[in-house]
A = this chain, B = another copy of it.
């Protein structure tokens, strides 16, 4: 099959690789309808994560079931499915506790930017639509495989409540989905920190009530002003850098929680400040499967339209250009069509 591969930092290719095959009775093979590039794919692209040259890359996709293992009873070839980037059996103790991202049979989509993808624990992981969705819905359904569920997890982890004030640090696709999540959960004030006009526009469409373009100390000062010096009840940290974490804790009120979903890189947590001001930290890798039924319902009803985060659609063969566009922040998020 044709698949996106990474050979070195900055070296993304689309080439022929072996098709994935079913090796366990719980596996399924999906023919990818749409995949996409994640902000976290930029870490290896930029040389911050180790890679094995030639590995396939990409962990987000939706598609049509091509083949299932003997124990996959809930799906059949032809079903349209949303594939969480993190696969789970949805039956182990951690899954039953609502933390599918800690499943004892955890797996990951390894070729979301390709023609086919293998799903381990297919019964537990996937969610299907009743019918083949309209093409116009596909971007929003694709967003549920990671970015929207991750933004949702940030808001859940931060404890966003009706009437509360939420601040979202990061205006990437996850941050924008965090804005959408906080607004859906009834936050009265949703403050998006963003310097980019196109991202600010989407943030407003997603329900941001305030935009703060300033960063660092100036940004924190603006948020103090907006919150009458109190600070935010809930902060969604959607980047993963030390600077973003520092900003998140700087804008939180005493007793607030920072929900973090940006994979942390060289982050040092301000433990003394956390203790002195009782600011909690929760979150991590999103338990996508947990949120999928609710997010699918909201998407199908038109309550949310997370597909708006895709501002560039390319054929699979142009994956390398997709990475460049995201790396240079010319695109928020790139959808790839095999």
Q: Which residues of A contact B (CB under 8 A)?
A: 93-94, 97-99, 101-102, 157, 228, 230, 233, 253-255, 257, 260, 263-264, 267-269, 271-272, 274-285, 287
* Nearest CB of chain B from residue A146's CB, rounded to whole Å: 15
B253, B264, B275, B276: the one within 8 Å of A272 (CB): B264
When the two chains form their complex, are residues A274 and B278 in contact, meaning their CB atoms are under 8 A apart? no
A275-B263, A276-B285, A278-B102 known; A255 and B94 CB under 8 Å? yes
A246 CA to B241 CA in the complex, in Å?
23
Q: List the 10 closest pairs (A to B, CB-CB), nearest first.
A: A102-B254, A99-B255, A280-B282, A278-B284, A275-B284, A269-B269, A99-B254, A93-B230, A264-B271, A94-B254
When the two chains form their complex, are residues A276 and B284 in contact, meaning their CB atoms are under 8 A apart? yes
- Report chain B residues within 8 Å CB of A278: 99, 101-102, 157, 282-285, 287
A230 CA to B97 CA in the complex, in Å?
10
| A and B contact pairs by CB, cutoff 8 A, 14 listed | A94-B254, A97-B233, A99-B254, A101-B254, A102-B278, A257-B282, A264-B271, A268-B271, A275-B284, A275-B285, A276-B285, A278-B287, A280-B280, A280-B283
In this complex, what residue of B is CB-closest to A240? B275
B93, B97, B233, B260: the one within 8 Å of A228 (CB): B93
A267 CA to B269 CA in the complex, in Å?
10
When the two chains form their complex, are residues B277 and A102 in contact, meaning their CB atoms are under 8 A apart? yes
A260 CA to B274 CA in the complex, in Å?
10
In this complex, what residue of B is CB-closest to A273? B284
B94, B230, B267, B274: the one within 8 Å of A281 (CB): B274
A56 CA to B324 CA in the complex, in Å?
63
* Nearest CB of chain B from residue A287's CB, rounded to whole Å: 7
* Nearest CB of chain B from residue A22's CB, rounded to whole Å: 28
* Nearest CB of chain B from residue A265's CB, rounded to whole Å: 10
A144 CA to B157 CA in the complex, in Å?
31
